[in-house]
Amino acid sequence: MAKNKRKNQILTGIQLHAAGAKGVAIGKDETGKTVLVSGAIPGDVVNVRVKKSKSKYIEGEAIEIIQQSADRVTPKCQHFGVCGGCKWQNMSYDKQLYYKQLEVENNIRRIGGINDFKTLPILGAKEIYHYRNKMEFSFSNARWLSQEEIDSDEDLGDRNALGFHIPGMWSKILDLKECHLQESPSDEIRLAVKKYAVEHGLEFFDVRNQEGFLRTFMLRQNSKGEWMLLFQLFREEKENRERLFDFVLNQFPQVKTLVYAINSKANDSVYDLDIQTYFGDGFLTEEMDGLEFKIGPKSFFQTNYRQALELYRKTLEFADLKGDEVVYDLYTGTGTIAQYLARKAKQVIGIESVPEAIAAAKAHAAVNGLTNCLFYCGDMKEVFTEAFLAQHPKADVLVTDPPRDGMHAKVVEQILKLAPEKIVYVSCNSATQARDIDLLKEAYHLVKILPVDMFPQTHHVENIALLIKK
C-alpha cells in the first residue's frame, strides 16, 4: 500500500527556479527538498506527480501548469511533448542559451573545483531550426498510440509508422508528420516513402517478432543541397526494393546517392553492415573553409554544419598556432579538427579507435594536400602510451575531443606525462570535461571556456576549454 501511495503522490504549487541536467527544471518542496521536474521550464509553477523519491531529491513530472513562466513560447512542432527530441522548444532561445552557459560554468566550478577562469559568451546558432544535416527514422508496424486512441472504440486504421522511437518505449514508433530539425525536402521525402510503402503493401518492421521488410531510413545532406539516402532492410525483396528506390529517385532529383544494407541482426547499428550503392557515388562531399571531406553512410560528421564551422574555427583560435608546433589530436574522428590545425602547424598526430574513421582521415588529408598529418588507429588508452610518446616528437599543443564519457584516467595520466604547453579540450559533455580538468588542474591552469550551442531546442551544449601548463 505504501508503494502505491508514493507512486500516486502529487506535489502542488512547486515553483521551478533553475534548469538541471538533461533538461529538467528544478524546484523545492515545502520541506526544502530538491524536486527535479520533467515537462516544464524554469519560471513555471506546477503540480508534480512523484516518480522517484530519494534521500536528497525527488524526481517527478509536471501534470498541471498553475502559472506559466515568462520565458515560455509556443512550440513550433505538433509532436512536442511526445517526441523526445526537442525538450526546450517551449522556451525562448535567449533563455536556452542562458541555461546552457550556466550549466557549463556550474560544472567547471562544482565538479572541476575551479573558480578562477574566464567565460566567453556562449556562441549561439543563427539557425535555431532546420540545422541538422542528418536524421534517422525507423519503420514500425505498431505505431505509438495516444491515450485518447487507446480509450477510443473507433477503428485505429493504419498502424504503420515511420518516425522516432518514443522515449522509454523502444518498441513504439511515433508516426512523424513533421520535423523542424532538417531542411526541406526531408519531410517530403519521408512522407512520400511512407505513403508509397503503405499503398504498395510493403511490410514495416516488427521489432518484437523481428520480421518485416522496411527497417530504418536515414537522410543526410551537405551544404550544397545534395542528399544521401540510406535504407536498412530486414530482408531482401529485390523487386520491391528497386521499385521503391526508383520511385524516390524519380520524385526527388536532390538525391545524389542512394545506398542500402540488409540487416537481419538484433540491432540497427550500421557500422558492421555491408553497404550497397544503388545510385550515385555512395557518398557526399563537404567543403569547410577550403578543406574537402567525403561523407559516407558510416561517417561521423558534425550534424550542425554551420555551428561545426564555428566550433572548428574557435578551436584553431584557442590553439593559437604559430607554424612550428607539433600538435596531438586525440579522438580525431575523421580528422576534421586535425586538418584545420595542420594548415597552421608543423605536424599533427591524430589518434582514433574507429578504423573507418582513420581511413577517412588519411584520405581527407591526401585530398587536401596535407602531408604533415599522421593518423593512428586503436583504443586511446592502449595506443596513447609511454612507448608511443617515446617514438614520436613531443607535443607542444594537445587537442582532445572525446565522446560523452570523457577521457579514460590512463589517457589523462599520459597527458600529464607528455606535458604539452597547451591543451584545447573540446567536449559534448561539460560534466565529464570538468571531471577531467580536475585531474589536470595541479599541472594546468584553466584560462578560459567557450560554450557552443550545436543543438538549439535541446539541453545539449558543447564547450571548448583552454588550459596552459603552470
Name the 3-class secondary structure at 470: coil
pLDDT band of residue 171 (cuts 50, 70, 90) is confident
Name the 3-class secondary structure at 199: helix
Please identify, in words, the CATH class of the domain defined by 95-128+304-469: alpha beta
Average pLDDT value for the chain: 93
Position 298 scores a pLDDT of: 87
Do 90 and 72 form a contact (C-beta atoms < 8 A)?
Answer: yes
State pLDDT tens for residues 393-450.
999 999 999 999 999 999 999 999 999 999 999 999 999 999 999 999 999 999 999 9
pLDDT: is 232 or 152 the higher one?
232
Q: Could you give the residue numbers annotated as active site?
A: 428
Position 337 scores a pLDDT of: 94
Q: Is 260 annotated as a binding residue?
A: no
pLDDT: is 5 or 52 the higher one?
52
Is 90 a residue whose pLDDT tops 90? yes
State pLDDT tens for residues 20-41.
988 899 999 999 999 999 999 9
Give the span between the Cα atoms of 33 and 13, in whole angstroms. 14
For the stretch 64-68, contacts whose Cβ atoms lie closer than 8 Å and that sit 24 or more positions apart, written own/partner, are: 65/40, 66/13, 68/43, 68/44
State pLDDT tens for residues 282-300.
999 999 999 999 999 988 8
Matching CATH topology for 1-71 and 134-288? yes
pLDDT band of residue 89 (cuts 50, 70, 90) is very high
Q: Is 401 annotated as a binding residue?
A: yes
Q: Residue 409: left (phi > 0), alpha (psi -120 to 50), or beta?
A: alpha
Do 415 and 58 form a contact (C-beta atoms < 8 A)?
Answer: no
Q: Which CATH architecture has domain 1-71?
A: Beta Barrel (2.40)
348, containing H or E segment: strand 347-352
Position 1 scores a pLDDT of: 28
Is 4 a residue whose pLDDT tops 60? no
Q: Is 67 annotated as a binding residue?
A: no
pLDDT band of residue 222 (cuts 50, 70, 90) is very high
Position 155 scores a pLDDT of: 65
Name the 3-class secondary structure at 99: helix
Is 159 a residue whose pLDDT tops 70? yes
Do 411 and 439 form a contact (C-beta atoms < 8 A)?
Answer: no
| Percent share of the chain, pLDDT over 90 | 83
> Domain limits of the chain?
1-71, 95-128+304-469, 134-288
Give the mean model confidence (pLDDT) for residues 97-109: 97
Position 7 scores a pLDDT of: 60
State pLDDT tens for residues 327-368.
999 999 889 999 999 999 999 999 998 888 899 999 999 999
Do 227 and 195 form a contact (C-beta atoms < 8 A)?
Answer: no
Topology of 134-288 in CATH?
OB fold (Dihydrolipoamide Acetyltransferase, E2P) (2.40.50)
C-alpha cell of 6?
A: 508514493
C-alpha cell of 442?
A: 595541479
Neighbouring residues of 158: CB distance < 8 A, sequence distance ≥ 6 = 143, 198
Position 6 scores a pLDDT of: 56
Position 153 scores a pLDDT of: 72
